[in-house]
Structures are given as structure tokens and as C-alpha cells.
A = this chain, B = another copy of it.
Amino acid sequence: MVTTQAESVLGGSPYRADCPTRHILDRIGDRWTVLIVGALWDGSVRFSEVRRRVEGISQKMLTQTLRGLERDGLVHRTVHPEVPVRVEYTLTEAGRTLREPLRALEQWAIANLGNVSASQDAYDRGPTSS
């Protein structure tokens, strides 16, 4: 235990593997988290509805990711003990604050899609005999 504290992985010093920030990046880094947060953007959504929205996700990954988000306190889970069970998921306060940096990232992505595509294109074209 080195009790490493919230250091910057980017700013210039410790890119250490044990930096706690890494864990967060790992989470949002997985294939589905961001999409699920997106699906919960506008309020309370049922399990099957999330599944429909994220489209392509398996039931296993959906459950797994949702539980991870719940564990991290980013998503709240509500079970309605009705005849056919109904479960609703909602972003918690913390989860909602995550939307901002995520949106920033998405804005960057949208703004740079052209650049990136063009660059890839040129790169793949080979040693561009200038």
C-alpha cells in the first residue's frame, strides 16, 4: 500500500500503473460504459429499453456493466416488485456530472473525425512519396 493519491496521469509526472485515476479510465474505457451512460442520458430507463437502445450489447455485458456502474455509484437501480418484474436505471448525481467530460470528449471526436480519417487514409496509402 503506497497510499497513492489522486495524482495526474497526464500533467507530466506519474504515469504509474497504480495511479487511482487509471481505474476510472479503465471503466469509461470499456466498450459499453459510455454507450450506457448515453442511453441513460434522459432519465429513468428500464432494463430492456437500455438493451434496445445500446443495441448490439449482449444481455450479459449489459448486466455486468450496469452492475459495475451501480457499484461505482454512477447509476441507481430501482426494482419494482410487480407481476413481471420491472427494473429501472437512472444516473445518480455523480453519474450526471460524468456526462460533461464525456460530452467534451465526444465533441472532440466529432470535430476531429475528418482529420483522423484523412490521416488514416494517407497513412494506409503507404510511404507517401511526397
Contact = CB atoms under 8 A, between A and B. Distances in A.
Contact of A16 (B6, B28, B55): B55
A88 interface: no
Nearest to A6: B110
13 contacts: A9-B34, A9-B35, A9-B106, A10-B99, A10-B103, A21-B106, A24-B109, A28-B105, A71-B119, A71-B123, A74-B116, A98-B108, A100-B108
Interface residues of A, number: 60
A72 B119 contact: yes
Interface in A3-34: 6, 8-12, 15-17, 20-21, 23-26, 28-31, 34
Nearest to A109: B24
Integer count of this chain's copies in the complex: 2
A115 to B, nearest CB: 5
A113 B20 contact: yes
A56 interface: yes
